Amino acid sequence: MSRKIWLDGTIVDEADAKVSVFDHGLLYGDGIFEGIRFYHGRVFRLRAHIERLFLSAKAIMLKMPWSIEEVMQSTIETIRANDLKDGYVRLVVTRGVGDLGLNPFLCPTPSMFIIASGISLYPDELYDVGLEVVTCATRRPTPGSLSPQVKSLNYLNNIMAKVEAMKAGAKEGLMLNEQGYVAECTGDNVFILKNGEVITPPVSDGSLDGITRGVIFELCKNLGVSIREASLTRYDIYTCDEAFLTGTAAEVIAMIQLDDREIGNGKPGELTLQLIQAFRELIRSEGDAI
C-alpha cells in the first residue's frame, strides 16, 4: 500500500508528494523538522514536539502559517490516513520556493510535509546487550554558529560523525564540542551514572534539549534517583558505573563501551534497565489518541 503524505494541507500518495527544486529546504537546508513516536494508537508528547517545532521556526525567522493546534491535528490525520498504531512521524517545514540566491525573504510561503512510517534506529538485540560507541573527530558546531536547540534541515555535521562511527565498526558516535566536553551522540542525548547520581551534559555544551531527555528527568524523580546537569569529558564516561543514550527514535538504550573502554561490567546497568522499563510503561499509558 502506498504511504499517504500530508503536503501543505492535502493528503496525497507518496508518489505525488513532491517539492520544487527551487525550495530553499533542498537548496540550502533552510528549514526545520521534528520526529515524533506513536505507540498503541497514541502519539507520545505530541504538543511538546510541536511547540519545539514552532520555537525552531521562530529562531530562524520562519513564520509558520499554521497554529500549533492545526499542526497537531494534521500530524494525527497523517498517521490515521496510513492506518498506523505504532511508528514514527516526521514533520518537515521548509522556507519554501525562492530563487538560487540565499535571500530567505524571497521565499514568500513556507511548505510543510508530514510522513508517518515505521522506524528502527538500532537492531532490537542491541536493547538487550547495549551499544559500543566511539568518539568522533567531527565536533559539534558552536552555539554561536547555530543553537543546538534548532532542529534544522542541515544535519551534515551529524551525518559526517555517523560516517566516522560506522567506518570504525560502531553503531553510534560520541560528539564533543570545541572545548573537548561531551555534547551528544550523532542523534541521541548522553547520560551517565556515577556514585548513584545520574548526570547529563547541559544544553550549553552543545546538545539538544531532547524530549526523551526531559522524560528521564521525570522518571529519575519518580524513582527517587538524583539527577543533574554537568559538563562531562570522555574520562567521566570511561570511568562511570553506567551510561545510556536517549532520543525519540532511539528511546532509551545502554552504552556499554566507549573507545574500547568497557563501561561498568560491559553490560546494561541495573538503573539503565529500570529506566528502559519505566519508559516503556509510560508510553503505553500516555499520549494523544489517534
Mean pLDDT calculated for residue range 232-259: 97
Which of 100, 117, 134 is the last residue in one of the domains? 117
Looking at residue 98, its pLDDT comes to: 97
Within a domain: 154:
yes
Domain of residue 236, CATH code: 3.20.10.10
Question: Is residue 92 within 8 Å of 182, Cβ to Cβ?
Answer: no
CA distance to 6, 24, 53, 288, per residue, from 19 (Å):
12, 10, 20, 29
Among 267, 206, 241, 248, CA closest to 49: 248
Mean pLDDT calculated for residue range 227-252: 97
| Rounded Cα distance, 4 and 155, in Å | 25
Looking at residue 111, its pLDDT comes to: 98
Better-scored residue on pLDDT, 164 or 1: 164
Residue identified by cell 528502559 is 276
Q: What are phi and psi of 226, to 5 degrees?
A: -70, 135
Question: Is residue 186 within 8 Å of 162, Cβ to Cβ?
Answer: yes
Is the domain of 136 the same as that of 274?
yes
pLDDT band at 124 (very low <50, low <70, confident <90, very high): confident
Is the domain of 132 the same as that of 270?
yes
Is the domain of 53 the same as that of 154?
no
Is the domain of 83 the same as that of 184?
no
Looking at residue 97, its pLDDT comes to: 98
Domain of residue 109, CATH code: 3.30.470.10
User: What is the rounded average pLDDT for all residues in the chain?
Assistant: 96
Length of the chain: 290
Is the domain of 237 the same as that of 178?
yes
Looking at residue 118, its pLDDT comes to: 86
Is the domain of 40 the same as that of 94?
yes
Looking at residue 122, its pLDDT comes to: 85
Q: How many domains in the chain?
A: 2
pLDDT digits (tens, 9 = 90+) for 164-201: 999 999 999 999 999 999 999 999 999 999 999 999 99
CA distance to 26, 30, 121, 143, 166, per residue, from 182 (Å):
30, 27, 22, 14, 19
pLDDT digits (tens, 9 = 90+) for 9-62: 999 999 999 999 999 999 999 999 999 999 999 999 999 999 999 999 999 999
Mean pLDDT calculated for residue range 245-264: 97
Within a domain: 290:
no
Is the domain of 199 the same as that of 270?
yes
Work out the burial of residue 172: count CB atoms within 10 Å of its CB; fewer than 13 is exposed, 13-18 middle, 19 or more buried: buried
Is the domain of 74 the same as that of 145?
no
Which of 93, 117, 141 is the last residue in one of the domains? 117
Residue identified by cell 530562524 is 60
Within a domain: 262:
yes
Count of C-beta atoms within a 10 Å radius of residue 139: 16
Residue 151 annotated in active site: yes
What the block records as the C-alpha cell of 103 is: 535571500
Mean pLDDT calculated for residue range 232-255: 97
Domain span at 266: 126-285
Q: Does 120 have pLDDT greater than 80?
A: no
| Rounded Cα distance, 282 and 49, in Å | 17
Within a domain: 178:
yes
Within a domain: 254:
yes
Is the domain of 91 the same as that of 211?
no
H or E, element range at 128: helix 126-129
> Positive or negative CA dihedral for 85, 128, 272, 270?
positive
Is the domain of 141 the same as that of 252?
yes
Q: Does 121 have pLDDT greater than 90?
A: no
Within a domain: 230:
yes
Looking at residue 143, its pLDDT comes to: 85
Is the domain of 189 the same as that of 259?
yes
Instruction: Check 58, 63, 85, 151 and give the catalytic one.
Output: 151
Within a domain: 174:
yes
Mean pLDDT calculated for residue range 245-268: 97
Residue identified by cell 543533574 is 228
Among 184, 164, 168, 167, CA closest to 176: 184
| Rounded Cα distance, 153 and 75, in Å | 19
Which of 117, 149, 179 is the last residue in one of the domains? 117
Is the domain of 108 the same as that of 133?
no
